[in-house]
């Protein structure tokens, strides 16, 4: 049995050799290309690949039920935008924690937290740019200026790190990076309005 968003599909498991083929072709045949798969359950157990193409190794005669759950791209975008303020909070709290650790000369943990902050910053920028390209019309000077400013700040932090001036890194994190994080809230609010408008128009 194949179930899609709570509805049993007329398609049969026997039409597919393995789970990967089933997922690819069912999404195509059921016209789900404009939706995003959020969950796959195999015999009521959540499935996620531990390695690339693991689904190809699961033959279709090894299970009796597959459930596919999807959401619209607009719904997914709305959910992501709602989470972005939490990401800002994580960045701010993390940067204060990294500054504290560096001042205490706990370099190992402090640098680990700092690397996480940098990774989250990049993910935030990428996410905002992707969403803006899909849901906002025209350029956003504020976003471009803030992105450039954050890039410059991260570059300055990297330069200071190379000189191993950990007190200055801590100061940059606490007194420049935290305020920079807070400045992103306005961009996120504007993005949320754009996504909401797109969902209403759909």
Using CA atoms, how far apart are residues 202 and 200, in angstroms rounded to an integer?
A: 6
Predicted confidence at residue 93, as pLDDT, reads 93
Query: Helices 178-201 & 107-135, crossing angle to 10 degrees?
Result: 30
* Closest to 60 (Cα-Cα) out of 28, 20, 30: 20
Q: What is the pLDDT of residue 138?
A: 60
What is the domain partition of the chain in residue ranges? 2-64, 75-201
pLDDT in tens, the chain (202 residues): 999 999 999 999 999 999 999 999 998 888 887 788 889 999 999 998 888 889 999 999 999 999 999 988 888 888 888 889 999 999 999 999 999 999 999 999 999 999 999 888 888 888 888 888 777 766 667 777 888 888 889 889 999 999 999 999 999 999 999 998 888 888 888 888 888 887 777 6
Sign of CA dihedral 135, 88, 76, 58: positive
Query: Residue 131 has what pLDDT?
Result: 84
Give the pairing type, strands 7-8 and 45-46: unpaired
Helices 107-135, 73-103: axis angle to 10 degrees equals: 160
What pLDDT score was predicted for residue 81?
87
Q: What is the pLDDT of residue 125?
A: 85
Give the global pTM.
0.66
How many CB atoms are located within 10 Å of the residue 200 CB? 8
């Amino acid at each position: 049995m194949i179930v899609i968003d709570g509805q049993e599909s007329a398609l049969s498991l026997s039409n597919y050799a393995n789970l990967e083929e089933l997922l690819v072709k069912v999404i195509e045949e059921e016209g789900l290309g404009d939706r995003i798969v959020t969950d796959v359950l195999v015999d009521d157990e959540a499935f996620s690949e531990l390695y690339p193409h693991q689904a190809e190794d699961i033959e279709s005669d090894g299970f009796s039920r597959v459930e596919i759950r999807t959401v619209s791209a607009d719904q997914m975008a709305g959910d992501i935008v709602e989470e972005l303020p939490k990401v800002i909070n994580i960045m701010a709290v993390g940067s204060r924690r990294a500054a504290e650790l560096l001042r205490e000369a706990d370099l190992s943990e402090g640098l680990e937290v700092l690397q996480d902050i940098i990774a989250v910053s990049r993910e935030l920028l990428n996410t905002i740019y992707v969403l803006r390209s899909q849901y906002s019309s025209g350029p956003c000077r504020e976003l471009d200026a803030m992105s450039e400013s954050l890039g410059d700040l991260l570059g300055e932090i990297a330069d200071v790190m190379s000189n191993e001036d950990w007190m200055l890194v801590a100061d940059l994190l606490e007194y420049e990076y935290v305020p920079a994080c807070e400045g992103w809230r306005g961009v996120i609010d504007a993005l949320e309005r754009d996504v909401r408008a797109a969902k209403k128009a759909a």
